[in-house]
Amino acid sequence: MSSAEPSDGAVPTVTAEMSIPQQLNRRFARVRQSVGALERVLLQGPRTHSARELQSLHGLPESLVAKYWRGMGFGGIDHDTAVFTDEDAEAIGELIRLVTDGEIDEDTFVNFARGFGFHTGRLAMWLTEALVDEAKAGGKVSDSQARMLMLERAPEFLGVFERQVVYAFRRQMASYTARAGSEILRSVGESWSDEALPLPRAVAFADLVQFTRLAQSIDGFELADVIKQFEGLCRDIISEGGGRVVKTVGDEMMFLADTPEDGVRIALSITEAVAASPILPEVRVGLAWGNMFSRYGDVFGPRVNLAARLEGIAEPGAVVVDLETAETVDRAFPGGFSRAEEWSVELQGIGLTTVVRLERAAASRIVINR
């Protein structure tokens, strides 16, 4: 055995003295060992069952297994390839039995699977990238080295992650069901009768100005920091103001608030906080109040489309709304905000719209101590 080969089964460190093939072999071995160790902990057992066996041995219809797996975001499966562990069989079977017992229909079953898959997939990416960012924070390791450190450190956090996921889900579920209950009570006596658009909300889009140009002028690490700062700042202000983030798409964030005045207060606080940041370009916000409907973690309706169009015409640093929203805000919080400017514009797919730029008056600013 050469001195470069360990005798205790450990994967040796890659050194500069090694040849390129040696470095590649050692790096491959190190990655394989770390990924394998993680998989053994995460999957709780070997992949021993095929889709055909789940049907023959566990009574799980192949069609529903395939829909579940696809809904979770995983690729197609061969009928006779051993893909599933005992834990997979138990988890898939638990949800399938809700269908076979008549508790839910197949559409709801697929929606459940998609919801679990989409949001836990994003969560897994979020958490692992957070560990990568931490490894790179000192500026002494490359991206690939940081990812290697993430693979090696991840096992120590798995228990914490699992407990936090269960806790966070229960807390979020409590919050959303409480909101649903208050909406039921609030709907009594309301004149709005359109069941297709049952939810009154302030919906807004906040977008960094000239982000494409910025992305071409700085490196990837700086760009990632800009996105991180923008998203973190917005999320903190939205949460503190009683709103909720719907989604982010690169340099744009969509959020909701339960009252028109909360929505405008959040929007103005975001523009002010972004303007005060030394690394962020200006942000513009389009906001509309009205009824919409919610599906699969997103919201839809004409007022959502209007808010998106308004964001597209807003000036850097501005918060703009339509006239109906401005009047609603005035009634909800008299003197809280002022109308700095009004004009009419033809919005694509919407028509001639009176646009109002709002500014702060008596309303307080949401300040986050960071």
Q: Which two tokens stand for residue 174?
A: 């409590």
Spatial separation of the C-alpha atoms in residues 52 and 97, rounded to whole Å: 17
Which three-class secondary structure state does DSSP give residue 104?
coil
DSSP state letter for 364:
P
Residues pairing with 320 in the sheet = 286, 357
CA distance 81 to 87: 17
Grouping H, G, I as helix, E, B as strand and the rest as coil, residue 45 is: coil
Distance CA 300, CA 176 (A): 18
Residue by residue, pLDDT tens for the chain (370 residues) are 343 444 344 445 655 566 667 667 777 788 888 877 888 888 888 899 999 999 998 899 999 999 999 999 997 788 889 999 999 999 999 999 999 999 999 999 999 999 999 999 999 999 999 999 899 887 788 888 899 899 889 999 999 999 999 999 999 999 889 888 877 777 665 555 556 677 899 999 999 998 878 878 887 778 888 888 999 999 999 999 999 999 998 789 999 999 999 999 999 999 999 999 998 999 999 999 999 988 888 899 999 999 999 999 999 999 999 999 999 999 999 999 999 999 999 999 999 999 999 999 999 999 887 6
**d(C-alpha 152, C-alpha 161), whole Å:** 16
**How far is residue 313 from each of residues 128, 193, 213, 248, 276, measured CA to CA in Å?**
37, 32, 18, 19, 22
Strands (E) across the chain are located at: 199-208, 244-249, 252-257, 283-295, 298-300, 319-322, 337-347, 351-360
pLDDT digit string (tens) for 37-91?
888 888 888 899 999 999 998 899 999 999 999 999 997 788 889 999 999 999 9
What digits encode the pLDDT tens for the residues 347-360? Answer: 999 999 999 999 99
**Which residue bears the tokens 């902990």?**
41
**Which H/E stretch holds residue 68?**
helix 62-71
CA dist 272 and 291 (Å) reads 28
Encoded tokens for 148: 């290697």
What whole-number distance in Å separates Cα of residue 93 and Cα of residue 113?
A: 12
Structure tokens at 8: 């205790």
CA dihedral for 259, 260, 266, 267, sign (positive or negative): positive
For helices 20-43 and 143-153, angle between their N-to-C axes, nearest 10 degrees: 40
What's phi and psi for 171, nearest 5 deg?
Answer: -65, -45
Q: What are 139's two structure tokens? A: 């500026």
